[in-house]
Structure 1
């Protein structure tokens, strides 16, 4: 099926029910390079069946064949189409939730900055963000220090792929790991939103050392300037936009380099009056929800997190 020339797959509830139903649009992770409809089929089918929700999974074009921001543009087109035509799929347009994991969650936060400004489309009822990537300003927050070598997201590899996705070229990863791509004025400007000082002390127990940035590189900054746009780093969006976001379900995992991105986003949402349902998996790791339906490979926290997502959806 195509939504504005973008391939999607629609998953229907297993049992018949009253219409119109709840709808959920899923945008998968994978740093813009990986991910497929097949990889997320078990996950999407589980949500559709367990919550009586019509689930739409978007197959957006992948890098490097399709450079950034092709992924965001395709998702924006597909989401806009569904919001406009939800009734054709038996979905109440006032009960549509936008959801994603990892970089897919980042795309949700990115395209929503445009969606909330449109008056010709129904507003999304909620967001579901699972272990989201949300900023490229500081790669030395406590969770990056603690989990730099924890599978499946090794810090150096993620930064290398992320910058390749964003810029289309290989850049000096070691310098970026030292935050050498960030000028002092930007670091000072956004300290109110992105700083280890804003992370609760309980999350600094396992590993956290005061970090001193490496020497600033103007060449690296010019190469990575897109990283400081709020559509790439949603934590940098202005409050006037963020406070228009819908109620949000946020899942973070202890053993995940992106944990602190989620914690900082939770604080920003709450500071702007956006209701947040937060679940933190103390034994969780990045990608844990993708183990849904794999039987003995499921972790106890896999099913626990899925139950929390279903409970959040059933409120709408």
Structure 2
């Protein structure tokens, strides 16, 4: 009897450890958020244990979990859905069935997942892109770019850029009945990173005649220089993306070398010869007072040049779009940026919005004070959140009014 009670006590303690975390007062449905956070924490812990035991790489373990969320391309009465390839890169294509008075709008979407996890066919992404196509009567292209650890930077960027260039050809736009003046690139999290980088690169590509009408960046990750921003400090253990796991995803994007992850974790990975880049991410100048919250900016602590020489990607604007000059920002299209208060990536988006506005780019910065990272994925089944629906609706409304 005593052994059973002990087992029950230990099991209860374990469940309580995973389920209970302090939830900010402004969160709706706090118990749902606790369960979501617990599920993500358990999944990442199990993946890390499997990795340490040599059974499977932690990213591959998480990908096994995401396959449960996969659904085959399924058409309905409103949208025809198919998997195909653009420029030898896999895409899921959504073609509206409703008649159109003229040429249609189009959105090219890049899913999130830290450049390591996820796919266009996951239920939440399929639902988001399907809703976008149906409600806007628009063509939507959702891209299945290759993932780390099998493929490192810049492969992910190159895949999405190849798709974008292919789709923007006049002949391809004509094939799908798309208005070349009404095309948007969009993405969430790491997908927002890729969308921002693609929009920047298109400005430098003389082969691309079609210009983007808009970019929509949903809680994007935009820089890897300063991983100790106020948002990283305040939201270190908030659902569903912890600081430690974001650092792990950043380093995994470039290499399996643990020395880069360790340097990033201590914010000592940038060499002194790259000090000229820090003004682009100096939060003391780029954050509003209400987000500084008493934090005091300190000068960067520089690291060894060796890491930057081995893995220059973390200093490359294709991986860190905040690192481009104001002159390049000036030519970017109409922009929507969603940031969430309780997100380690919050300040990346806030700083980008500030810099874009200063460069004269029309920006809608939608800041959700009651939301956490990835919240727009929670719009289905038992983990459905009202705030997720609300932000999805705001995003699609902005597209409808501006694209």
Per the shorter chain, which TM-score range?
over 0.9
Counterpart Cα distance in 2 of 1:194 and 1:215: 15
Partner-residue secondary structure (3-state), 2:116: coil
276, 284, 309: which one aligns with 2:395: 309
Higher helix proportion, which one?
2
In structure 2, the gaps of 5 or more residues are 1-83
Q: How much has 1:185 moved relative to structure 2? A: 4.8
**Corresponding residue number in structure 2 for 1:152:** 240
**Corresponding residue number in structure 2 for 1:103:** 190
Q: Is 1:290 matched up with 2:377?
A: yes
Q: How much has 1:97 moved relative to structure 2? A: 0.4
Q: Is 1:68 matched up with 2:153?
A: yes
Question: Residues 239-250 of structure 1 correspond to what in structure 2 (within 5 A)?
Answer: 239-250=326-337
Q: Aligned pair count?
A: 313
| Contact 2:271–2:302, Cα closer than 8 Å, also in 1 | no
**Corresponding residue number in structure 1 for 2:350:** 263
Counterpart Cα distance in 2 of 1:305 and 1:147: 20
| Contact 1:105–1:130, Cα closer than 8 Å, also in 2 | yes
Whose relative contact order is higher, 1 or 2, with alpha carbons under 8 Å and at least 6 apart? Answer: 1
Counterpart Cα distance in 2 of 1:126 and 1:88: 21
Counterpart Cα distance in 1 of 2:268 and 2:205: 37
Counterpart Cα distance in 1 of 2:269 and 2:312: 9
Q: Is 1:3 matched up with 2:86?
A: yes
TM-score by length of 2: 0.73
121, 124, 127: which one aligns with 1:42: 127
Q: How much has 1:209 moved relative to structure 2? A: 5.2
175, 178, 192: which one aligns with 1:91: 178
Counterpart Cα distance in 2 of 1:14 and 1:146: 46
Counterpart Cα distance in 2 of 1:223 and 1:208: 33
Of 4-13 and 133-142, more deviation after overlay is shown by 4-13
**Corresponding residue number in structure 1 for 2:142:** 57
Partner-residue secondary structure (3-state), 1:193: helix
Q: Which has the larger radius of gyration?
A: 2
**Corresponding residue number in structure 2 for 1:220:** 307
Partner-residue secondary structure (3-state), 1:311: helix
Partner-residue secondary structure (3-state), 1:94: strand
Q: Alpha carbons of 1:201 and 1:224: their partners in 2 closer, same or farther (altered >3 Å)?
A: farther
Counterpart Cα distance in 1 of 2:389 and 2:175: 32
TM-score by length of 1: 0.92
Q: Is 1:200 matched up with 2:288?
A: yes
| Contact 1:160–1:171, Cα closer than 8 Å, also in 2 | no
**1:123-159 deviation digits (Å, cap 9, x = unpaired):** 0110000001000110111000001111221111221
| Contact 1:6–1:59, Cα closer than 8 Å, also in 2 | yes
**Corresponding residue number in structure 2 for 1:182:** 270
Counterpart Cα distance in 1 of 2:334 and 2:180: 16
RMSD over equivalenced CA pairs, Å: 1.9
Q: How much has 1:233 moved relative to structure 2? A: 0.9
162, 167, 177: which one aligns with 1:77: 162
In structure 1, the gaps of 5 or more residues are none
Counterpart Cα distance in 2 of 1:179 and 1:80: 36
| Contact 2:94–2:140, Cα closer than 8 Å, also in 1 | yes
Counterpart Cα distance in 1 of 2:107 and 2:398: 12
| Contact 1:156–1:177, Cα closer than 8 Å, also in 2 | yes
223, 248, 253: which one aligns with 1:165: 253
